[in-house]
Amino acid sequence: MVEYVVDTYAAIEYLNGNKQCIAKINGATKIYTNQFMLAELYFISLKRNGEEIANRHLAAFSSHCESLYETDIKEAMKLRLKLKNRKLDISYTDSIGYHLALKKNIKFLTGDSAFEQLPNVEFIK
């Protein structure tokens, strides 16, 4: 049983046909996203591809959206500050995704090099 929290990089690579991402995501029993990742995915796709494709990309991942609670936001921002103190500059969106992965004790699927040496990460390129 393989589950992932998918970050925006992995979602975009999946939608762009990256074979490694397709294999990971399609091979997972369950994937999770969050509202912040969906907003980032939609924005990037809208900027690159236009509204019609951005709508399709959003729809492809919306059903995997995990609700966020106030405690998740607090813990994710504490985690971001802790990582920033270690000279790892990660976004708010990635902080929330990584927090969810740690909370669920599953892998965070990403290609962001800031996460390459962190636990609970499945690193892709």
Domain extents in the chain = 3-123
Q: How confident is the model at residue 118 (pLDDT cuts 50, 70, 90)?
A: very high
Q: Which residues pair with 5 in a beta bridge?
A: 32, 108
DSSP 28-41: -SEEEB-HHHHHHH
Phi and psi at residue 91, to the nearest 5°: -75, 165
Supply the pTM of this predicted model: 0.93
- As given in the structure block, the two tokens for residue 1 are 């049983």
Report helix, strand or coil for 73. helix
Asked which of 39-48, 77-86, 96-105 is least confident by mean pLDDT, the reply is 77-86
Q: Is the pLDDT of residue 86 over 90?
A: no
Q: What CATH homologous superfamily does 3-123 map to?
A: 5'-nuclease (3.40.50.1010)
The dihedral of CA 54, 12, 73, 113: what is its sign? Answer: negative
DSSP 114: G
Note the Cα 49 to chain centre separation in Å.
20
Q: In whole angstroms, what is the distance from residue 54 CA to residue 89 CA?
A: 27
